[in-house]
Amino acid sequence: TPIMQATMLSIPDLIKKKRDGNALSDDDIQFFLQAVVENNIQEAQTGAMLMAIFMKGMVATETMALTKAMKLSGEVLSWPEEWAGLVVDKHSTGGVGDKVSLVLAPALAACGLKVPMISGRGLSHTGGTLDKLESIPGFNVSQPFPKLRSILAEVGCVIVGQTVSLVPADRILYALRDATSTVESLPLITGSIISKKAAESLNSLVLDVKFGRSAICKDLASAKALGESLVTAGNNLGMNTRAVFTHMSNPIGRCIGNSVEVIESLETLKGKGPSDLMELVSTLGGVLLVMTGKVSSLSEGGRLITESVTGGAALAKFQAMMVAQGVSNENAQSLCSAQADYHRILRRADHQTELRTHTQGVVMEIDGLVLAEVLHQLGAGRTNAGEPINHSVGAELLVSLGESVNKGRPWLRIHFESPALTPDQTSRLEGALTLGGSGDKPLRGSLIEEMIPPM
């Protein structure tokens, strides 16, 4: 091929070039990815290149070339001309109880935008949007492109998984990054996230970059390094891209798991959602409404998103999306009705147990990471891609931050099946709750820290 002739370097030469800390050319990167996708490379060589990139890093031009070549490794979606400027998406770097997409996608559709949300599954402690939706009987996250386009035309939002033809380079590299301990590499994370979004041919993308104890980035500085890399790559590929930095220590909302988070999302779409979840939905949605020129200010955008949720327009979109993606009319209607009996449709775990407070005090903090890790062990998450999970396993918080509680007050309900909670898991869960004295106030105000570029 012309690229092979232009490069004239073998795969071992390319690995050596990166291993020794030199920058790879655009042709080098394209040659490497072509070999990966066409399977003209040994797995050991791909792993060695990933480790070289992990150890030596990449300069901005390399990251850009990597992201662009990954995007072009497969099909790139195209949309009708009349949707110009309206195609948007949101990506979160992952948190605990992060059900924002389930509320935000239909809210954006209700505001007239098109949302082709290509989402992920849960790995390690972060829950995947697809896993949550698959706890709804019949919901199909695999839709061929013509069907995806028709759902977007009719409903305005669709939430699906990555197809075989979309960014195949990422699917191969992602699995190997997991196996070679090269997941936390800035250029590789940037390439993976932005190539998939660029293949959606978006006009605008907002990134929810989370930081704190329950996030991948533990502090604001590392979140900013990631956010800046993502924003630069997105803008360079022709997508209007912004990052919002948000706190992620306590769980978002009150539910963690799959079925239980669907229930909380539906309650939110009925106007009864927790304030922290609504803050994230209205801010991220408001940013996209400003970016697409639908509104002139963030406050106006946030108000429109909130009204679409509290007024029922977003719920109607969610109901239509469920039906379009395979849920029966009857079940979709029943889940969206005012007095829904959720567990008639969504499977409830066989056992529930409640944890009680050991002392009185003010709820200062709830460690989301501990809750997520224990639920993962109980079957709510997966350690390896492709493993089955139990959608009914989850947790419900029965107290709020800043609330005064007496000794013996139930504060957490765990939904479990088999395995049952071990004494060690119970004591870990008990340690996740921090109570303060009567005059204490929890630190958390707004979850939103800042944005780049600022608004």
91 among known catalytic residues: yes
Asked whether 140 and 325 are in contact (CB, 8 A), the reply is: yes
Q: 198 φ, ψ to 5°?
A: -65, -35
Q: Which member of 170, 208, 276, 367 is catalytic?
A: 170
> What separation in angstroms does the CA of 392 have from each of 160, 352, 363, 378?
21, 11, 27, 10
What is the Cα–Cα distance from 63 to 66, expressed in whole angstroms? Answer: 5
Spatial neighbors of 43 by CB under 8 A, at least 6 apart, are 176
Contacts 24+ apart (CB under 8 A), 218-224: 220/245, 220/449, 223/93, 224/452
Q: Which member of 17, 68, 177, 391 is catalytic?
A: 177
177 among known catalytic residues: yes
What is the Cα–Cα distance from 168 to 128, expressed in whole angstroms? Answer: 20
Q: Which of 258, 236, 202 is nearest to 376 (CA)?
A: 258
Q: Which of 229, 231, 234 is nearest to 199 (CA)?
A: 234
Q: Which member of 196, 197, 224, 391 is catalytic?
A: 196
Q: Which member of 192, 214, 229, 249 is catalytic?
A: 192
196 among known catalytic residues: yes
DSSP tag of 123: B
210 among known catalytic residues: no
Beta strands across the sheet bearing 410-416:
255-257, 394-397, 410-416, 351-356
170 among known catalytic residues: yes
Q: Which member of 71, 90, 91, 415 is catalytic?
A: 91
Q: Which of 278, 218, 268 is nearest to 95 (CA)?
A: 218
DSSP tag of 162: P
What is the Cα–Cα distance from 452 to 227, expressed in whole angstroms? Answer: 8
- Which residues are designated catalytic? 91, 170, 177, 192, 196
